[in-house]
Amino acid sequence: MDLRIGHGYDVHRFADQQTPDGHLTLGGVQVPHDRALLAHSDGDVVVHALCDAILGALGAGDIGQHFPDSDPQFADIDSCLLLAKVLTLASNTGWRVGNADLTVVAQTPRLARFIPSMRERLAALLKVELECANVKATTTEGLGFSGRKEGIAAYAVVLLVRGVVPDKPS
């Protein structure tokens, strides 16, 4: 089979105290916000869900198996570096991302103006055309943990295709 589909999900809660640098990271982009997401790494739920989707399509476990939160080398790491390692694993086993579709579930912060930057960053990392790296954001209309502004969740679906990663289109 020359195609594989993977699904990923991640969630992180907000820190109780305000963050001194005034931002959090989503989709590899810094987003202004008064509270950071609690995590061993930078807490980028979008990239974590994407990593899990790719690993799932590869049949290679999940992000926690590859980058355990008990390992100090991953403390505060940029999640895009973890994504690069996952993409190397995919490439080394003959797979590349065909497209990725991601959904961020957050009552706060409002993300619409940051989505174009997230798409550009993820497309560059995945080495795909912009239209092959889709990011959407939604709220839960005040319901559940994200609706209560306790944290953020993200879902990812990826299609892997066999073959060499092409040069990034210009």
Averaged over 40-68, what is the pLDDT? 95
| CB contact set of 19 (below 8 Å; sequence gap of 6+) | 33, 34, 35, 36
pLDDT digits (tens, 9 = 90+) for 44-54: 999 999 999 99
Domains and CATH numbers, the chain: 3-162 (3.30.1330.50)
Place of tokens 């579930």: 105
Provide the pLDDT for residue 21: 72
pLDDT tier, 23 (very low <50, low <70, confident <90, very high otherwise) = confident
Provide the pLDDT for residue 166: 59
pLDDT digits (tens, 9 = 90+) for 113-145: 999 999 999 999 999 999 999 999 999 999 999
Q: Supply the pTM of this predicted model.
A: 0.92
pLDDT digits (tens, 9 = 90+) for 77-98: 899 999 999 999 999 999 999 9
Q: What is the DSSP letter of 164?
A: P
Average of per-residue pLDDT values in the chain: 92
CB 74 within 8 A of CB 82: yes
Provide, rounded to the nearest whole percent, the portion of the chain with pLDDT above 70.
94
Which uninterrupted H or E stretch holds 47? helix 45-58
